[in-house]
Chain A
C-alpha cells in the first residue's frame, strides 16, 4: 500500500515537473540571479545580526539578541528620529518642487518635454559625490554665494551655509528630486484631460478643480515618488557626510561607521535589518493604499 502511494506521488510530481519545465527554464536564470545577488547577502546580513564579535573584531557565530537590545539606546533613537525628520523634509520639499515641475513638463510640447527630461537626467551622468562637492564650493564660507554677497558689501562675515540640517536637506533634495518628478510626471501624463474639462464645465474654478480632481487623481504619483525619495534619504550617509560634516547623524552614517570604522558588523547588520523593516512597512502601506509596484519599478 505504502509503496504504491509513494509511486503515485512521485508520478504526480514528475507530471507536475514536466508541465512546469518550460516555465522553469524561462524563469530560472532570473531566479538564480536574484538568489545569488539579493537573497544570499540578505540572509547573511540577517544571520550575522544575531552574532557578536571578539576583541579582534572577528564575528563570533553564537546566537545573541544584544545587537537588537542596543537599538534602544537614547542617542541611537534620536538619530533615528533625526533621520526620519530629514527624510520627511526631503520628501516634502521634493513634492513641492517636483509636482509643479512635472505638471509643466507634462503640459509642454514634445520637444520641450524631451529637453526638460534631458536636464532632469543629465546630472545622473556624473557621480553624485562629485556633484555634491560642487554644492560645497557654492555654499562654502569661501564659496560662490558668500564671495558674491561679500563683494556686493551685503555681508561682512561669511554665512554658515554648509554643515547644518539645511545643507543636508538641500543635498538630499538635489540628489533625489528626479525620483519624485518621474512618477508624478508619468501619472499626470496619463491623466484624462476630459476629466479636467468636465470639472470646469460643472463650474469648478482652477484652484478647486486642482484640489478636487487633479490632486486626488495624481496622488498615486506622489506616493510612488515619496517612497522613491524617503527610503534612500534614510540611508544616503554620503550626503550628510559631505553637506552636514559631523553635525547631522543619519541611520546611514551609523551603519556605515559600524562596517567601516568600528568593525562591528553584527551591530551594523542589526541596524540594517531595522532599516529594511522600515522600508518594507512603507512599501506595504503604499500598496495597501492602492499604489502599484510597477510605478516604483519604472525607475
Chain B
C-alpha cells in the first residue's frame, strides 16, 4: 500500500502481443515520483512499446497501467497527464518554435498573455530565447531537441516520457545534452522515463535503470548495482564488458567453487545455490588479475594473444585452455601481461557475480522487483515467465523446480486472462 502511494506510474502484469509476436511479457514496474528511470535494452526488447503504452499510443493486451494511482486503460493520449519527447522530435513543420511550444497550452485554451509568458519561460529553460519566430526546418538537431523538450514540459506533466531523444545527435552534443537533461530533471522535479539502448547514457543519467531483454524486465536497480551485481547473464553482457564462465557450483562456506571447462574458480556465496547447480560466473575485465604463480582456489590459465592500447587503459585478450577468450584490462602505468606468455588468472571472490543459469534467471529478477503487498500473484506470474524463457537448457539439479513451474504456468495464463478480458470490456463500456 505504501508503494502504491509513492509510485507515480505503475505497470502490473502488463503484456503486449502483436498477433504471434509477444513484445512485452508480464511486466511489473513501479516508477517513483521524481526519479529519473531509464528503460535500457537492445532494439526489439519492448522498451519503446512499454513507453508507448504509458503514453496511450498502444493498448496493452492484458494487465494494468496506473498513473498517479489511477488505471489509464480507458484514457486517450490527450486525457493522460504524461507528455512525450519523440525520437524524431515530431515538431510541427508548419508552426514556428513559439507555436510549437504553445500548442499544449492552446489545446487547454489558456489565456494569450499567460501562453506568451509560459512559452518564454520554457524556452529560457532550454536556452532557446530569441528563436520564437524560426521554423523547425531552420533549426539544428540540438535546437530541435530543445524545442521538443520545451513543448513537452509546457503543460507541467507529472511524468515526461523520452523515447531515445538523443539518438540523432552527434557524440559531443549528446554528452552535453545528457548533462542538461539531468539538470533539467532535477530542477523541474518531474519524473523522467527515459528509453535508450545506450548503456553509457543510462548509467550517466539515471537514478534507476530497468534493463529489458526480449520483452522481460531482467533487472531494476541503481546504475552502480546494475554494473556491479548484474542479475542475469544478459545484463552482465549488455552493460559494460564481462567475462562469463559456465560451470557447476559447489558452495563451500562463504565462497562457491565453480568448476568450469577451463579450470576451477572462486566466487562469493550470496546464498541460494545448490551443490552441482549449473551457474555462470561473471567477472569484469578490470577485476581480472594475472600472476605467474597460481592462487589458492583458482586453477585458470591463459595465454596473452594481444595487447590493445585504449587510451587510459590497456586491454589484453587471453586465450584459455578451453578455447574461450577473456578480456583483462590494466590501467596504463600498471604491469601489463606480456604477449605470448602464459599466466595464472584469478580475482577476488567478492568481485565475481555468480548467476543462476538461464532457466533460473527469472527468480533473481523477481527478487529485484518491488512486489511487496502482492507476492502471491507475483510468484504465479514468475512461474509463467520462467516457463517461457527456460525450457531446453534447464539444469539437471533444477529440473524438478522447472517442471513444477511449467505445470503451474500452464494453468495460470488461462486463469489470469479471463479477469483481464472482463476488465477491458468494462473499460470499453
Contacts and interface: CB of A to CB of B under 8 A. Distances in A.
A202 B90 contact: no
Interface stretch (A67-75, A98-106, A203-211): A203-211
Nearest to B151: A202
B78 A213 contact: no
B103 A197 contact: no
A87 B86 CA distance: 43
A192 B88 contact: yes
B104 A197 contact: no
Contact of A216 (B88, B94, B103): B94
A30 to B, nearest CB: 33
B93 A202 contact: no
Nearest to B107: A203
Contacts of B107: 202-205, 208
Interface residues of B, number: 24
Contacts of A35: none
Contacts of A199: 92, 103
A277 interface: no
A163 to B, nearest CB: 45
Contacts of B151: 198, 202
Interface string B61-87: 000000000000000111000111011
Given A198-B84, A208-B107, A203 B90 contact: no
Interface in A170-213: 192, 194-195, 197-205, 208, 212-213
Residue of A195, A200, A201, A208 with most partner-chain B CB within 10 A: A201
B205 interface: no
Residue of A192, A200, A202 with most partner-chain B CB within 10 A: A202
B309 interface: no
Nearest to B154: A202
Contact of B103 (A192, A194, A202): A202
A198 B165 CA distance: 14
Given A203-B78, A203-B108, A205-B78, A198 B155 contact: no
Nearest to A204: B107
B76 A194 contact: no
A216 B57 CA distance: 23
Residue of B87, B107, B151 with most partner-chain A CB within 10 A: B107
Given A200-B77, A204-B78, A213 B55 contact: no
A200 B94 CA distance: 17
A197 B92 contact: no
Interface in B78-137: 78, 82-84, 86-88, 90-94, 103-104, 107-108
Contacts of A204: 78, 103, 107
A199 B94 CA distance: 13
Contacts of B77: 197, 200-201
A59 interface: no
Contact of A201 (B78, B87, B91): B78
Contacts of B92: 195, 198-199, 213, 217
A197 B94 contact: no
Contacts of B57: 197, 200
Q: How large is the interface on A (under 10, 10 to 19, 20 to 34, 35 or more residues)?
A: 10 to 19
Contacts of A200: 56-57, 76-78
A201 B83 contact: yes
Contacts of B90: 192, 194-195, 197-198
A201 B84 contact: yes
B397 to A, nearest CB: 49
Contact of A197 (B86, B93, B108, B155): B86
Contacts of B82: 201
Interface string B17-61: 000000000000000000000000000000000000001110000
A83 B107 CA distance: 42
A194 B151 CA distance: 14
A194 B84 CA distance: 11
A2 B193 CA distance: 80
Contacts of B91: 198
A216 B90 CA distance: 15
A213 B87 CA distance: 19
Contacts of B83: 201-202
Nearest to A200: B77
A6 B107 CA distance: 72
B86 A198 contact: yes
Interface string B346-381: 000000000000000000000000000000000000
Contacts of B84: 197-198, 201
A190 to B, nearest CB: 12
Interface of B: 55-57, 76-78, 82-84, 86-88, 90-94, 103-104, 107-108, 151-152, 155
28 contacts: A192-B88, A192-B90, A194-B87, A194-B88, A194-B90, A195-B90, A197-B90, A198-B90, A198-B92, A200-B56, A200-B76, A200-B78, A201-B55, A201-B78, A201-B82, A201-B83, A202-B78, A202-B83, A202-B103, A202-B104, A202-B151, A203-B104, A203-B108, A203-B155, A204-B103, A212-B103, A213-B92, A217-B93
Q: Which 5 residue pairs are nearest across A and B when measured between Cβ atoms? A: A203-B107, A202-B104, A194-B90, A198-B90, A200-B77
Interface of A: 192, 194-195, 197-205, 208, 212-213, 216-217
